[in-house]
């Protein structure tokens, strides 16, 4: 639905399809994308790390440690990770100037999505970036990868580090349909803070509802999903597409409310 919207809007003679590929068949499939009729692909779990190893990654994919976008260039298989672009693009659209407000960022979660978000924040020159994870060692691993601008903090201290934060980003699955709610209080967060949640089922998680009740700017997972798709479409079809409200509304209508 997402790429189909752009294919129609830009009158591109192409297609975007779903392929279910078992782990043991991944290498054969991605090394022969052209034989399957493809000029590239998105890659989702559990294949992102394997796709990185099978391709020529750019700095983003290499540093984040996972590839979600593949394309053929001169017969060579290239890769990147556009999750950080999606996160930044969504914030730019939802809260222009969010990265000029000072303070610190607080990122919840240190998994693959957390790594992409932290990479993006550091690319924008933000710091310090506090990373809270239930397993502190995983947050410490991000500091080891990205340097001293990343500050690992205990999950039990989240509300302490909420004070003065100008950005809160949830990169965990908490709040997703079928998962427990994210139980954090927004007391103490800066009055001009932005709250982002990468979850998009539901579109308005309890975290985002609480933020909006405080009058804070928010960004949801569908915003991120749309913006992360831009680079892939450009690589494959030669057109840089624009994310629009019409497209957002079309896809949002297909997402369960809770």
Catalytic residues: 48
Say if CB 23 and CB 53 are below 8 A apart. no
Distance CA 23, CA 38 (A): 19
Place of tokens 């996972």: 66
Distance CA 111, CA 46 (A): 13
Distance CA 30, CA 16 (A): 15
Say if CB 171 and CB 108 are below 8 A apart. yes
Give the Å distances, CA to CA, from 106 to 15, 38, 144, 190, 226.
39, 39, 17, 12, 23
Which of 76, 103, 75, 98 has the alpha carbon at shortest distance from 87? 98
Say if CB 167 and CB 193 are below 8 A apart. yes
Distance CA 59, CA 36 (A): 27
Give the start-end residues of each E strand in the chain: 40-42, 56-57, 69-73, 76-80, 104-108, 129-133, 150-154, 165-170, 194-197, 217-219
């Amino acid at each position: 639905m997402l790429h189909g919207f752009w294919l129609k809007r830009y009158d591109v003679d192409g297609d975007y399809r779903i392929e279910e590929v078992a782990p043991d068949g991944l290498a054969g499939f991605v090394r022969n994308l052209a034989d399957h009729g493809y000029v590239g692909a998105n890659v989702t779990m559990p294949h992102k790390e394997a796709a990185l190893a099978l391709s020529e990654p750019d700095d983003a994919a290499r540093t984040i440690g996972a590839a979600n976008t593949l394309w053929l260039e001169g017969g060579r298989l290239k890769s990147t990770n556009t999750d950080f672009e999606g996160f930044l693009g969504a914030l730019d659209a939802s809260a222009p100037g969010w990265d000029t407000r000072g303070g610190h960022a607080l990122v919840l979660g240190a998994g693959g999505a957390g790594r992409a978000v932290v990479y993006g924040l550091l690319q924008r020159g933000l710091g310090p970036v506090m990373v809270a994870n239930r397993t502190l060692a995983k947050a410490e691993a991000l500091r080891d990868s990205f340097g001293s601008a990343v500050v690992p903090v205990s999950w039990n201290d989240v509300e302490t580090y909420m004070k003065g934060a100008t950005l809160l980003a949830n990169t965990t699955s908490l709040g997703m349909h079928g998962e427990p709610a994210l139980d954090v209080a927004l007391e103490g967060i800066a009055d001009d803070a932005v709250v982002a949640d990468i979850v998009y089922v539901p579109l308005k998680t309890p975290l985002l509802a609480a933020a909006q009740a405080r009058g804070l700017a928010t960004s949801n997972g569908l915003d991120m999903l749309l913006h992360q798709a831009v680079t892939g479409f450009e690589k494959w079809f030669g057109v840089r597409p624009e994310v629009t409200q019409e497209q957002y509304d079309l896809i949002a209508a297909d997402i369960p409310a809770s």
